[in-house]
Amino acid sequence: MQINIDYLYAYLKVYSIDIYGKKKNKNNQHHLTLFVLWITLVYKKNIEGYVKKKLTYKDSGVNIDEGERLVKLISPLAKSTKRKGVLSDIGGFGALFSGKFKDLKDPVLVSATDGVGTKLLIAKTAKKHDTIGIDLVAMSVNDIITSGAEPLFFLDYFSCGKLNAKTASTVIKGIAKGCKDAGCALIGGETAEMPGLYSPDEYDLAGFAVGVVDKKKIITGKDTRPGDVIIGLSSSGLHSNGYSLARQVFFKKLKLKTTDKPKGLGASVGNVLLRPTRIYVKPVLELLKTIRPKSIAHITGGGFTENIPRVLDKDLRAIITKGSWPEPSVFKFIRTNGNIAESEMLRTFNCGIGMTIIVKKTEAEKTLDILRKAGEKATQIGVVEKRQARQKRVEFI
């Protein structure tokens, strides 16, 4: 039989108030003495165990056993992404990858890191964790491909308040899927259980990717000239940016739930907002076999307005033709129901274009053909022009 010591102390405290208060009662004193003697004799070992109990890491909120369970669950997932160059399995102190690149005369490593922002809150609310890992991989490998580099390997960082191996492995299953789509290896990672910093049901993600490109083939945007053509690759939706504004519209202004299917959206709120970010690596690598783009931009936070200028010299500007590409319904829904200005939409969301590729005008049709055959919805969306002083870097017409 077990006894709750905290309840016992509370019981004694109540009796102490009766005994030592204004009305002292000898009968109460007698009963208390007998009660304490009885408790001491019958539950002596239990009390001693309570007093002498050793504090453990698990008592503090960190479950090492659950961490080991997670490693067993994700080891096959990591192995399924293995590619040429990987020299180690997960579990070591450092992940190993060969530095030999036979086909490259002057190999240059390209690195990127990112997270998925408040899209995590949608996954938590919807209790759907199987695709958020794809987003994590996409954000870094899409950045790497803009330099013309091939992603080699990926590492993840998973932090949480209380580790749930099932949930974490579901997330990492998505990461493995993203790595396969990008052709890179999930070579390692870190899981951190941090009670007190996060609530028990919270987790956060960060990803790190490394790729390689021959130095002479690095895409910098320096060769871009007036008259070059801007080609856009369609997005699947919001990807992983603008979610703070999107959540404001869906959940605070419209009071919707992730299971709701409002008119004009085409699917449930949760499914639309959790559509994974498109990974453009393989189609772009296929393009690079034939065409050398002038520049490539990953349209993330900041939309067209902030990202295209990153790959253009200051004396050039992009002229984007509005309506030249199909826009997913989610953007119209947010713009209309949130009463958001078009300019704000274009500097916050990708608005249907997840990546832009600038090529010579004479190579535009061939570029479109290659990308479409690779499975991309590619569209000519604009041109590059000479920029005069005080003109906008990106102009929409």
Summarize pLDDT for 120-141 with one digit per residue, the tens. Answer: 999 999 999 999 999 999 999 9
When comparing pLDDT for 32 and 263, which is higher?
A: 263
Would the pLDDT of 40 be above 80?
Answer: no
- Domain 64-217 falls under CATH 3.30.1330.10: yes
Distance of alpha carbon 177 from alpha carbon 277, whole angstroms: 12
Would the pLDDT of 284 be above 90?
Answer: yes
pLDDT (0 to 100) of residue 51: 55
Read off φ and ψ for residue 71, nearest 5 degrees: -55, -40
Least trusted range by pLDDT, from 21-30, 164-173, 357-366, 387-396: 21-30
Section 241-267 average pLDDT: 96
Helices (H), the chain: 5-20, 26-42, 44-52, 64-79, 119-126, 132-145, 165-182, 243-247, 269-273, 281-288, 303-307, 329-338, 342-346, 364-373
Distance of alpha carbon 327 from alpha carbon 235, whole angstroms: 9
Mean pLDDT taken over the chain: 90
Distance of alpha carbon 193 from alpha carbon 185, whole angstroms: 24
Per residue in 57-108, pLDDT (tens digit) is 898 889 999 999 999 999 999 999 999 999 998 888 999 999 999 889 999 9
- Going by pLDDT thresholds of 50, 70 and 90, the confidence category of residue 288 is very high
pLDDT (0 to 100) of residue 17: 46
Would the pLDDT of 217 be above 80?
Answer: yes
Do 229-396 and 64-217 fall under one CATH topology?
Answer: no
- Going by pLDDT thresholds of 50, 70 and 90, the confidence category of residue 200 is very high
When comparing pLDDT for 37 and 58, which is higher?
A: 58
pLDDT (0 to 100) of residue 23: 47
- Going by pLDDT thresholds of 50, 70 and 90, the confidence category of residue 21 is very low
Would the pLDDT of 48 be above 90?
Answer: no
Q: How far are the Cα atoms of 52, 316, 354, 370 from residue 364, in angstroms, in the given order?
A: 77, 19, 18, 10
Domain ranges of the chain: 5-52, 64-217, 229-396
pLDDT (0 to 100) of residue 291: 97
Section 107-124 average pLDDT: 97
pLDDT (0 to 100) of residue 36: 59
Least trusted range by pLDDT, from 4-8, 49-53, 328-332, 384-388: 4-8
Would the pLDDT of 15 be above 70?
Answer: no
Per residue in 302-321, pLDDT (tens digit) is 999 999 999 999 999 999 99
- At the top level of CATH, the class of 229-396 is alpha beta
When comparing pLDDT for 20 and 389, which is higher?
A: 389
pLDDT (0 to 100) of residue 90: 85
Burial of 6 from C-beta contacts in 10 A (0-12 / 13-18 / 19+): exposed
pLDDT (0 to 100) of residue 10: 54
pLDDT (0 to 100) of residue 35: 62
Contacts of 283 (CB under 8 A, 6+ apart): 233, 371, 374, 375, 376
Would the pLDDT of 18 be above 80?
Answer: no
